[in-house]
Structure 1
Amino acid sequence: MSVKEPLVIGSIDWQKFMPNSPMLTSYQAGWSSILLEHYRLPLMDLPEVSNLQHVVVIPLGHQAVDFEFVAEGRSQTVSYREKDYTSGCIEIYPAELPISFHSHPTVKAMEAINCYIEPTFVAQIAHESVNPDRVELLLTLKKADLLIHQLGLALRSSLEADGARSRFYADSMATALSAHLLLYYSTRKHHFREHEDGLPKQKLRQAIEYIQAHLGENLSLSDIATELGMSQYYFCHLFKRSTGISPHQFLIHQRVEQAKQLLRQPERTITSVAMDCGFANQSHFAKCFRRCTGMNPNQFRKS
């Protein structure tokens, strides 16, 4: 008798097995390093599949959920209760590991954020550690990890607020998430080198000039890292060492500074200023402007 092989699927193929379409997806947002989907599902079954991507699952809600999880021929029951959601439990399904699960008949609804990360992206981050061999992540079920939980919620909020303009933030969070996975969920220990001095002055000036020259565009973190000839992980790490803030925070501050200049032109509408400075929409612009200045754009104009 032949052994049935697991179905090999990619991130988008997951939708074929879900009873409902995702409530939210980053598929059309142009994110390159991570795909996010937010699902709310009834009773469901997933046949044996092998993922092309690593899948990080962030369960949400408060309802009791019980499901049977099968990996490498071993079955176990996984149960979620309200305390598990509040403690920030997550799950990690490594790429290429055959898995299947089915929820128990008592399950009324299941809600989760699924983050799909390309193994090649995680491997690129691994090459910045002292042990850059082939990366293998550990299967992890119902483990409290508030950092991953908060990263998933932050990515969802950014996608909801900024849409296609959330690419830079998604790159930053995917970089941080991948480094965290390598440090705490890899079969091999990875150690990232510490750099006390930050970016060389010439590289820092080059990064700042590049950001300022492209404020109105849908910048990605990889654009800047490539321009500087370095990895996304170490660009983020060294940039923050040099400036005290992350590249994404610096980008937002620079956009707000440019917006201040444009707002002094009475013929300019707030919407046009928001678009020219690279904000997703007027609401996103107002939120970022208020966070940086303590007032909204209209108040600034009258001051």
Structure 2
Amino acid sequence: MPEQPLVIDCAEWIKLMPSPPVLTSFQSSWNNIQLIHYRQPLACLSEISNSQHLIIIPLKNKAVNYDIVLEGRSQVVSFQEKDYRGGCIAIFPATLPYGFHSHSHYQVMEWMQCYLEPVFLAQIAHESVNPDRVELLPIMKKADPLIHHIGLALKAGLEADRVGSRFYADSMATALSAHLLRHYSTCSHHFQDYEDGLSKQKLRQAIEYIQAHLSEDISLSDIANELGMSQYYFCHLFKRSTGVSPHQYLIHQRVEQAKRLLKQTERTVTAIALDCGFANQSHFAKYFRQYTGMNPNQFRKL
């Protein structure tokens, strides 16, 4: 009987690498997606498979060739500098056996790995017109600027705020899942489009829930569950109704609440930041400046 490939998750993948990663999302309470940023020599891996869907996003590398063994078949994949600028990515579906060996004269390479939970992808698929089959296609190299942008956005969010980025990660995981189902599934998934957005009652319910939980580390699923909707359709319909994403709306309301507290109380900036749901003072200051053009202390003196 042939030996079965080693099945690993994102945390176990790290143990196979020669050096620790630059950045991970493991301490950030992300639920459905994880991000790992590597900058190191790329090790050669014997045949393994992942318990999650794996999207690889190469970064800032010189030309390199890979020998990829996929389901027992070997092929050579070549990445050139133009491929990195063009946003090329690779996709390894969960449970698919693979191995690789890199050929490069450069000692250090840089890439990101996004891990998406299959159960979450299946939940998003159930909102599509044809939800019966959820199976991703293996992709060894393809330009996909949207996935590349999502990876970079997750990385930037994680670097700026390792603690309070869960809501943003939920939003990105939802967008990524819908994109994968539309373009990289063995059975193309189509999502219904509702031009009218949320009903007035649902929109009011969502806004009231957000206002009541501004100080808490709420998740996208918390709000969607409150409304009895999926994350995908809540995001889609909320933006149709308001013109902004749920994450943008949440941050704006937290800033507005902070503006009131800065003017009406003598509490410290740090205390106000925590009361308004920001992870820390620097997280608060970043978004406050983004929305007002000044820091909290400057605003308080006006």
**The two structures share one fold, judged by TM-score above 0.5:** yes
The one-letter code sitting in structure 1 at the alignment partner of 2:159 is E
Partner of 1:271: 270
Confirm or deny: 8 A CA contact 2:17 2:42 kept in the other structure.
no
Identify the residue that residue 114 of structure 2 maps to in structure 1.
115
The gaps in structure 2 that reach 5 residues or longer are none
Paired position in structure 2 for 1:86: 85
State the partner residue of 2:241.
242
Is 1:20 paired with 2:34? Answer: no
> Match for residue 216 of structure 1?
215
Note the C-alpha offset of 1:197.
Answer: 1.1
Contact 2:63–2:104 (Cα < 8 Å) also in 1: no
**What residue number does 1:77 align with?**
76
User: Is there any run of 5+ residues in structure 1 with no aligned partner, and where?
Assistant: none
In the alignment, which residue of structure 2 is the partner of 1:150?
A: 149
Counterpart-to-counterpart distance in 1, 2:54 and 2:153: 17
Deviation string 1:166-216 (CA, Å, 9 cap, x unpaired) is 000000000000000001111101110010111111111111011111111
The superposition leaves residues 99-139 of structure 1 with CA deviations (integer Å, 9 ceiling, x where unpaired) of 00011253422211101011110010001111101211111
Structure 1 CA distance, aligned partners of 2:79 and 2:281?
Answer: 39
> Displacement, 1:279?
1.2
| 2:297 paired with 1:298 | yes
Question: What is residue 284 of structure 1 aligned with on the other side?
Answer: 283
Q: How many percent of aligned residue pairs carry the same amino acid? A: 69
What is the DSSP-based 3-state SS (H/G/I as helix, E as strand, rest coil) of the residue aligned with 1:267? coil
The aligned counterpart of 2:105 is: 106
Bigger shift: residues 44-53 or 231-240 = 44-53
Aligned to 2:204: 205
Residue 147 of structure 1 deviates from its aligned partner by: 0.6
Question: What residue in structure 2 maps to residue 134 of structure 1?
Answer: 133
SS at match of 2:136: coil
Q: How far, CA to CA, are the matches of 1:266 and 1:241 in structure 2?
A: 36
1:265 CA drift (Å): 3.6
Identify which range, 47-56 or 107-116, moves more after superposition.
107-116
In the alignment, the residues of structure 2 paired with residue 71 and residue 122 of structure 1 have an alpha-carbon distance, to the nearest angstrom, of: 22
The corresponding residue for 1:42 is 41
Comparing 215-224 with 272-281, greater Cα deviation is found at 272-281
Which whole-Å CA distance do the structure 1 matches of 2:133 and 2:12 have between them? 25
> How much does 1:275 deviate?
1.3
Count of residue pairs brought into register by the alignment: 302
Alpha-carbon separation, structure 2, partners of 1:16 and 1:250: 39
- Decide which moves more: 3-12 or 192-201: 3-12
Alignment check: 8 A CA contact 1:43 1:105 kept:
no
Letter of the 2:296 partner, please give it.
P
Q: How far apart in 1 are the matches of 2:174 and 2:91?
A: 16
Instruction: Tell me, yes or no, if structure 1 residue 186 matches structure 2 residue 185.
Output: yes
In structure 1, what residue type is equivalent to 2:125? Answer: A
**Separation in 2, partners of 1:143, 1:281:** 39
| CA displacement at 1:79 relative to structure 2 | 2.0
Inter-partner Cα distance in structure 1 for 2:101 and 2:112: 18
Q: Deviations over 1:23-64 (max 9, x none)?
A: 111111110010111111214111111111100111011323
TM-score, normalization by structure 1: 0.97
TM-score if structure 2 supplies the norm length?
A: 0.97
Q: Which residue of 2 aligns with 1:53?
A: 52
* Residues 197 and 238 in structure 2, CA contact (< 8 A), matched pair in contact too: yes
Query: Which is further off, 264-273 or 10-19?
Result: 264-273
Q: Tell me, yes or no, if the aligned pair for 2:61 and 2:110 is still in contact at 8 Å.
A: no
State the Cα distance separating 1:94 from its structure 2 match.
0.5
> Which secondary structure state, in structure 1, belongs to the residue aligned with residue 165 of structure 2?
helix
Partners of 1:90 and 1:144 within 8 A in 2: yes
Taking the aligned partners of 1:278 and 1:102, their CA distance within structure 2 comes to: 45
Counterpart-to-counterpart distance in 2, 1:170 and 1:294: 25
